[in-house]
Amino acid sequence: MDNENSVLTLSIKDLFTSKMLKYSILPFIFSVIIMYILFFLVAGYGLEQLGSMDVQTSQTTMQNGIPHTESFEATLEGTALIQFLMSSAITSWIATFLVYTIGTFLTLYFSIFVALIIIGFLTPMILKELHIRHYNDVAMTGHSNAVEGIFLVLKWAFIMIGLFILFVPLYFIPLVNIIAFNFPLYYFFHKIMTYDVSSNIATKEEAKQIKYFNATTLRLKTLGLYLISLIPFVIFFASVFYVIYLGHSYFLEVRKMRKEA
């Protein structure tokens, strides 16, 4: 426990060095640019879809024992569609709730996804800085390559999407849906973070051993970091800290393993 506290304290100190603070700004800038562009693309598409909608209703009444059917057909366009949705207190509340709820979840999850991809490009530089400051005695062997990295990211992304689809029935169960919503993205978060850090520091065999003997500890660490990421926009600034924190953990484990070898 004392060792973990020292790692956390050291990670915070490293975060507030001038170079690390510069690295912390980059994920924020690039993420804002990407999300700004995507926002207008999605908003434009959404407005186009809301541009028109055909509405058809029918009502059957009995007059002197004879059924009479009245039909209503109209095309709602532009603001007329919005006025139609907002004309009733119930439909207005439902529409507003769905837009804000779904929009909030999608924005939050997408921001984490984008930040993870961006921080992947900065990880080698952050870890090299840690190496210079604290771990000159530990050679950064590493085992990553671009082809393997792209393949694994795509693999984990497809698994994440598959989990989102698989858990659809659970989304309607209170409390359980919180776990069901977050588990797929946490899976992706854990895989990306641990791979980015370990592949830059340890050999493939060392990474496997650390993963095997410290699986629970690593999951608890990445779970804590993921929960912090659920605070809106924190991921943009905290992603560098995540690499520093996990970087210290891996450097210490590699140093320990090589001394025992």
What pLDDT does residue 187 have? 95
Residue ranges per structural domain of the chain: 2-38+104-260
Intervals of the chain under pLDDT 70? 1-2, 31-32, 35-36, 38-108, 261
- The pLDDT tens digits for 125-172 are 999 999 999 999 999 988 878 889 889 999 999 999 999 999 988 988
Alpha carbon separation from 27 to 17, 33, 93, 203 (Å, rounded) = 17, 10, 36, 27
What pLDDT does residue 120 have? 85
Residue 52: enclosing H or E segment and its boundaries?
A: strand 52-63
Three-class SS string for 124-180?
A: HHHHHHHHHHHCCCCCCCCCCCHHHHHHHHHHHHHHHHHHHHHCHHHHHCCCHHHHH
**Using N-to-C axis directions, what is the helix angle for 2-15 and 18-49, rounded to 10°?**
80
Phi, psi (5° rounding) for residue 58? -140, 150
**Do the Cβ atoms of 95 and 86 come closer than 8 Å?**
yes
Provide DSSP, 61-98.
EEETTEEEEEEEEEEEETHHHHHHHHTSHHHHHHHHHH
CB crowding 164-178: b at 16 or more within 10 Å, else e? beebeeeeeeeeeee
Q: Rounded to two decimals, what is the model's pTM?
A: 0.75
Question: What is the spatial distance between Cα 122 and Cα 119, in angstroms, rounded to a whole number?
Answer: 5
**Do the Cβ atoms of 217 and 246 come closer than 8 Å?**
no
A 10 A CB-CB count for 47 gives 10
Q: Indicate left, alpha or beta for 62 from its phi (over 0: left) and psi (-120 to 50: alpha).
A: beta
What pLDDT does residue 1 have? 54
Question: What is the spatial distance between Cα 228 and Cα 220, in angstroms, rounded to a whole number?
Answer: 12
Helix (H, G, I), strand (E, B) or coil at 203: coil
What pLDDT does residue 94 have? 57
